[in-house]
Structure formats: C-alpha cells, structure tokens
Amino acid sequence: MDRRNFLAAASTAGLAVAFGGFGRLAEAAEIKGSIDKLRAIGYGELVPTAAKNTGEMVLALPRGFEYNVLGKTGDKMSDGRLTPNEHDGMAAFMSGSELRLVRNHEINDDVPKDGVAIGTANHYDDKAGGGTTTLIINPRTRLIERDFVSLSGTLNNCAGGPTPWGTWVTCEETTHGLTKYMDEEDEVGGFAKPHGYCFEVQASANNTLPPVALTAMGRFSHEAIAVDPRSGIVYLTEDAKPFCGFYRFIPNRRNRLAEGGVLQMLAIHKKPSYNTQFGQTTGTRFDARWVTIDDPNTIKSDTDEQAVFKQGARKGGTHFNKLEGCWSSPDGKIYFVSSSGGDAGGGQVWLYEPTAKDKGRLTLLFESPDRELLDMPDNICLEPGTGHLYLCEDSDYPGLSGRGDNFVRILTPNGKIADFARNILEGYEETEFAGATFSPDGTTLFFNIQTPGITVAVWGDFKNFKS
C-alpha cells in the first residue's frame, strides 16, 4: 500500500481499530512530521505553465519561471536529419561566443531507418543506433539556431559529463558486443564492435568526428562521469544489477583521455566489499581508498556486464546500488547518486572528497526517508555559485512502489529538498527527467523529458530561493 492510501485508510478507521489503529496513525503522523522538516520552500508552489514558444503544457513550475520547448524527437535538424529519440544526459558549454548543448540519445538497438538522425559519417558501429546531437542556442531567445549529429554509431548513450577542456564524455550503459546470447528471455549482442565504453565529443565541433572508444576507462555499464578540475582525475558511476561500483580514472596525460591511464574502484577502509544500500544514516562518513582494476577492457564484459565490477569486488571494492548521476564542484568535490539506494528505496546522494593521493572521504549527504520527498534521482547537476544540487527523478519502474510521477528536485547545502518542476506532459507524466545542466552563466536551466523526447530551457529568478 502506498503512503497516500495508508494515510487515507488510517484517517477513516476511527475507533474501530482501537489502540492498534491509533498506533499506526501516530506513526504516520510522526513520519509526516519528519518529512516536513526536510522540505524547503524553494521557489514556491508548482503551477501548470505553458511553454512560451509553443504553448504546450509540459511542466509545472514555480510562479515567475518560463520555459521554451526545443529539439523534439522527429524535428528536422540543420544537417537535414531528424532529431532522434530517447533524450538523456546533457551538458552546456560556451564555445567562443556560442552557447552549445551536447545531448545524449539512449538508443539501444540497430541503426534507425534512413532519414532518422543517428547513422551518419564517422560511424563507430554500423549496427548501433545511439549517439549525440549538438544544439547551438541563442542565449537571448533561448531557441535553437542550429543542430546536428555530433557522435554516431554508439549504444545506450545514457549519461556522461562535461570536462574542463570543453568536451562531453558520453557513456554507454551496456556491454553488449559481438557475441550473441540469451539475456533472460531476449537475444542480445551481435553488433559489429564491442560496446560498454566512454567516448569524447568536442563541444566546438560542427559535425561528427572519428569516434574513439576510451577503452582504458573500462568496459562496463557506464552511467556518468565527473572531472576533478584540480587534478584532472575522472570519476565514473556504474548502473548495473545487483551491485555496482564507483570508479576513478587517472589519465596517463592530463586532458588526454584517449592516451590511457589507470582505472580504480572505491573501497571503504577496513570494510571490505561493504554494502551501502541499506542500514545507512545520513551524515555518516567513511574513510575511502582505491583498488586497481587489472583488466578494465576485459573480453568477459561481452557477456557479463559485471565483469569489471567483480575484479574490484574481489579486492574489497564497495558495493552500491544503481549508481546514476555524477557532478563535480570547482573545488574538486564529487557528488553522485544511488537511484534506488536506501531503506525506503527512494535514493541516496553521496559526496566523495579527495584527502590525499590515494585516499578520500565518502559521506552520505542525503537518503530519502520517503518516496514522496525524493524518488529515484538520476541525472544531477550543481547550480553555479549556490551549492544547490538539481536532481532529475526517474520513478517509472513498475513494481517498485514509486509515485508514478516525476519531479526535478533541489537538494540544498543544509540537507533539505525543494520541488522545482513536475512533468505534466499528457500521456507521458510517468516518464523520466534527464540531462539537467545550467548555462555557464547560471541564467538558464536545460533538461530533457526522455520520452517522447523533449528538451526544455527554463529561466526565472534563480536568486529568489528560500530555505
């Protein structure tokens, strides 16, 4: 029974349930009171709002905020191809005087039919239909000036992350490759090349460049990356079942990811193979170390998406549950989320801080005590200059007791949650938000609704936040 139904049943039961009923009602009231203490006012109540440029009802936003709808699936792009579907991770860049978005498309099957965007020059795998598109945005009108395919022939491009040197690292959330095999009830694999890699996309490029698989960064179900701008070390999340790891990649040469490096998995000191999913307390800190992955590009990944994780686990690597978004701060703090971690299954927000060359501190910043407050965060981003962490919910999984709707939430530095946006697109209310990213000047927040595939640009008085 979900919380709404439980509260309704408890409030109408009356004296018929005697002391047991009063106990349950008191427990529900106590939980609700605890949740209320974790809510921030933010920007106020969310109200259904029409898109400024199209009039479509896509979002409920705080009063005073506006948005445009951009880059919908099927829209014809400047390169003559159609915008692909499955909008996912994304980041904003300034390239000269141009504001650019590089956007993932989490397409997990063959190349679409002629006329659909992905499947163009410099294709990595002619049997794979994923990739990225680049959108050049007018910063004044917040509308597209030009858009085109910027990476082609990859698979399941889920999240990724921006680098300080002006590139987008896009991540494949799969390890399917050349081998065909039965995965549960489905036949998978049979591609022309192996998958499960990260690829680097130049934000300044005006067409597709030859794709290079960053094999030293590991072949696993990648989700997101974040770069420590001080050291150039890349941190990576893994989205796999039943367990996954949190990794770092130390490049042989700073800013040159294709030249190789060392992949390592986080391990909690004196707690080998520690499971972080349950029994954690917000604010708990752990001393962390790193164990090296000996074979990051193992052929075993072709049929076992946990082949890399198992290497780290055997050395005591820490077990997480469904790691998703990852973002870095200017001072090198690394934020990442476990989408379904925690006793309530609503998600955890973690912080990793390097303290020495091979040591660090891991802190559980927030664990959702109730899925009404926060439900399965996925992509994340930091608002420039504020410490506010924007969380895109992905709560559309049958049987996992989610709410059936999705929000963009804000986690404040003092550990409270505020609502920023709700998906009200008719017929698609349960589909996920993805790709949250601010323009470098902090005036516009971009994010996606993955299905049917819509990018939005939101603006307003971001300085008027109330805790």
**Where is average pLDDT lowest: 79-83, 377-381, 447-451?**
79-83
CATH number for position 171: 2.120.10.30
Is the pLDDT assigned to residue 19 strictly greater than 50?
Answer: no
Mean pLDDT of 176-187: 91
Residues 98/225/405/143 CA torsion (nearest 10 deg): 10
Based on the domain organization, do 73 and 13 belong to the same domain? no
Q: Which of 117-126, 184-193, 361-370, 403-412 has the lowest mean pLDDT?
A: 117-126
| Owning domain of residue 12 | 1-37
Q: Does residue 146 surpass a pLDDT of 70?
A: yes
Confidence check: pLDDT of 11 > 80: no
- Whether residues 215 and 305 share a domain: the answer is yes
Mean of pLDDT values over 255-262: 98
170 and 202: one domain?
Answer: yes
Mean pLDDT score of the chain: 91
Q: Are residues 318 and 360 in the same domain?
A: yes
Which region among 8-12, 108-112, 141-145, 343-347 has the lowest average model confidence (pLDDT)? 8-12
Does one domain contain both 180 and 154?
Answer: yes
pLDDT score for 413: 97
Tokens representing 66 are: 């506006």
Sign of the dihedral defined by the CA atoms of residues 247, 252, 257, 260, in that order: negative
Q: Are residues 18 and 97 in the same domain?
A: no
Query: In this structure, are 50 and 124 located in the same domain?
Result: yes
pLDDT at 153 over 60: yes
Give yes or no for residue 28 having a pLDDT over 70: no
Q: What is the pLDDT of residue 13?
A: 31
| pLDDT recorded at residue 74 | 93
DSSP string for 287-305: EEEEEE-S-TT-GGGGT-T
Say what the pLDDT of residue 109 is.
79
Question: Which two three-digit tokens encode residue 258?
Answer: 């294709």
Ranges assigned E (strand) in 155-280: 157-162, 167-172, 181-183, 186-188, 198-202, 222-227, 234-238, 246-251, 261-268
> Hey, which residues does 136 pair with through a beta bridge?
100, 146
Is the alpha carbon torsion for 55, 59, 60, 65 positive or negative? negative
- 450 is written with which tokens? 């993955």
Band of residue 241 on the pLDDT scale cut at 50, 70, 90: confident
Listed range (86-100, 238-252, 394-408) with the worst mean pLDDT: 394-408
Q: Which of 126-130, 295-299, 402-406 has the highest mean pLDDT?
A: 295-299
User: 93-124: b or e for each residue (b if 16 or more CB lie within 10 Å)?
Assistant: beeeeebbbbbbbbbbeebbeeebbbbbeebb
**Residues 37-62 pLDDT 10s:** 999 999 999 999 999 999 999 999 99
In the chain, the number of structural domains is 2
Residue 5: pLDDT band (50, 70, 90) is very low
Same domain, 2 and 109: no
Let me know if residue 200 belongs to a domain. yes
Q: How far apart are CA 50 and CA 67, in angstroms?
A: 8
